[in-house]
Structure 1
Amino acid sequence: MKYVIAIYLLLPILSLAQPNCEAYKYDGKMSLYSACKKAEESQNYYQFTREYQEILDEALKIDSSYAYAYQAKGYAYLKSGDFVTWNKLLGKAIKYNEVQHLGYRGWCRYQFFRDYKGAIADIERLEEISKWDIGVGQNGDYHLIIAKALCYKGLGHKAKAIEIIEQQLKLEDHYVGLYDYLHLGVLYLESQKYDRAIEAFKIQKKENTLADNEFYMAMAYKALNDIPSYRRHLQESHDLYQNSRHMFDPYTHQMDRVFLSDIEAEMQDDSFGGTPINH
């Protein structure tokens, strides 16, 4: 198993960056070039400041089709939780440049707002119009196809989610995210396919050892009545969590994340032994 790192890990950064203004000049799009040069001035200000917003407004007065300015204006609204205003601004950005901005909106709809239907619509539209791999989500942890699968899971369509992830993981050039096999394993576990769940968790463990993964592996062994393995993996889950080896995102809690309280509650179960927990 390999991680395709170089360009994919740069994608979340590049998607936030100001476009290369010289590219517009080279193509003879001087109005967009001027708007782009004006928007560059916003980088000197914090996104929540009046100056930042006013500079982008000035850029849009120069050329109202400069899509990046709408997305950049939306950052402050996204961070402050004003989804309505953010969505209106992203809608304008997408109007003028679907390929560049659909993936960003789709990912944010999934990550921040759990707007599964909206995220699926954006990602599937991007698949239709893109000539290349559609890339990864904004934080770089997931390919957008995996994010789409998780959206289907969020809507209760677990079989479809499994199908999408399985197909994506078969691709030779698939970007393996931090949690792909964990999510697949959980889907198998929830579908009572315990042996396949354990197989997926073992791959996840090889690629990225996590307390969450060990917890779910313990649950799979518990379902199979393999109590020694259940106890061993649950204890390992607890140890890993104590060492901060668990799923993490600075903005949201990921789907399928496990917390220390979940692990410790399970350790009080009779199957584990109901023994006191040593911190």
Structure 2
Amino acid sequence: MKYFNLLIVLFPFSSVFAQPNCEAYKYYGDTLKYEACKKAMEIKGHYQFSKEYQTVLDQSIEIDPTFDYAYWAKSIAYLKSGDFVTWKKLIDKAVAYNPKGHLGYRGWCRYQFFRDYKGAIKDIEKLDSLVGYDIGQSQNGTYHLNIAKGLCYKAIEKQEKAIEIIEKQIKLNEEEDFVGAYDYLHLGVLYLETKKFEKAVETFNKQSQNNEIAENQYYLALTYQELDKPAKYKSCLEKVKELYIQGRKMYDPYSNPMDKIYLENIENELKKDYK
């Protein structure tokens, strides 16, 4: 099973936001954007927090105030530095001038950094309504945007809606043999939360087969506890701490993923006298 859990850096230019082809603007006769694009490409070699980097992009925007790439590129440093107000103003401009190109990114950032779940849902659903192709992955490559949307619905306590969305996307992912690294885990937790215990066990076992992590065994243990299977509960718990210490756990360098557990959670569960 392949995983779309690319170890890419979140903010530098990725394949999702590759540098634009300036010659394409020239080919289609948009000379203003061509000039703005050529100017924007002068950021190459400049640090994102540097005055030079920002000045080049300001000059690009002066040439063409509708050049979305320049707004997006400027916004990166503000998001990194925690100036979320300025980031929002800039990314909103990028979305306004190129919604298909930036709605997915803004929606993902709303989910990952701001816990703005309703805003993220709105952006992802808007993108889906605008395009006739697959809306693609989150910026960090961990999730399909529909999985992220499902997690947003979970966060606003609409678990059944979340299950419907995530089940549908996992089925599509399975057809492509390209399931996300944590997809089964999240679905299993949703089944656990909605008392669909047998489905939860089945789904956690799929996660085990494809990407075993501490969180998976932890929630599987809780499921067996609900099913009154103490031997399996204890067996899973014995694996959890070992996996966690080995570093086989959920990881994101920028935020804490949903359904992540900590050593304290494991140790508290191990202290319980469940027979």
Question: TM-score w.r.t. structure 1 length?
Answer: 0.92
Q: Which residue of 2 aligns with 1:148?
A: 149
Cα displacement (A) at 1:173: 3.7
Cα displacement (A) at 1:6: 11
Cα displacement (A) at 1:90: 0.9
> 2:70 and 2:243 mapped to 1: Cα distance?
43
Question: Which residue identity is paired with 1:155?
Answer: I
1:160 matched to 2:154? The reply is: no
**What do residues 199-221 of structure 1 show as CA deviations (whole Å, max 9, x unaligned)?**
11001111111001010001100
Q: Which residue of 1 aligns with 2:25?
A: 24
**What do residues 9-59 of structure 1 show as CA deviations (whole Å, max 9, x unaligned)?**
899821233212122222222211111111111122111111111110000
What is the DSSP-based 3-state SS (H/G/I as helix, E as strand, rest coil) of the residue aligned with 1:196? helix
2:4/2:180 contact within 8 Å kept: no
1:46 matched to 2:47? The reply is: yes
Aligned residues: CA RMSD = 2.0
What are the residue-to-residue correspondences of 1:50-89 with 2, within 5 Å?
50-89=51-90
Distance 1:141 1:267, change over 3 A: same
What are the residue-to-residue correspondences of 1:1-279 with 2, within 5 Å?
2-3=1-2, 13-171=14-172, 172-173=175-176, 175-271=178-274
**What do residues 228-275 of structure 1 show as CA deviations (whole Å, max 9, x unaligned)?**
111111111111011000000000000000111111111111127xxx
**What do residues 187-208 of structure 1 show as CA deviations (whole Å, max 9, x unaligned)?**
0111111111111100111111
Q: Which runs of 5+ in 1 are unaligned?
A: 273-279
Cα displacement (A) at 1:83: 1.9
Cα displacement (A) at 1:5: 5.4
**What do residues 45-86 of structure 1 show as CA deviations (whole Å, max 9, x unaligned)?**
111111111110000111111101101111111112222211
1:32/1:63 contact within 8 Å kept: yes
What is the DSSP-based 3-state SS (H/G/I as helix, E as strand, rest coil) of the residue aligned with 1:14? coil
> 1:228 and 1:6 mapped to 2: Cα distance?
33
Cα displacement (A) at 1:167: 1.4
Q: What stretches of structure 1 move > 4 A for 4+ residues in a row? A: 4-7, 9-12
Question: TM-score w.r.t. structure 2 length?
Answer: 0.93
**What do residues 158-201 of structure 1 show as CA deviations (whole Å, max 9, x unaligned)?**
11000111111222347421100100000011111111111110
Q: Which residue of 2 aligns with 1:276?
A: none
Q: Which runs of 5+ in 2 are unaligned?
A: none
Identity level (%): 53
What is the DSSP-based 3-state SS (H/G/I as helix, E as strand, rest coil) of the residue aligned with 2:141? coil
> 2:164 and 2:24 mapped to 1: Cα distance?
40
2:215/2:260 contact within 8 Å kept: yes
What is the DSSP-based 3-state SS (H/G/I as helix, E as strand, rest coil) of the residue aligned with 2:20? coil
1:143/1:176 contact within 8 Å kept: no
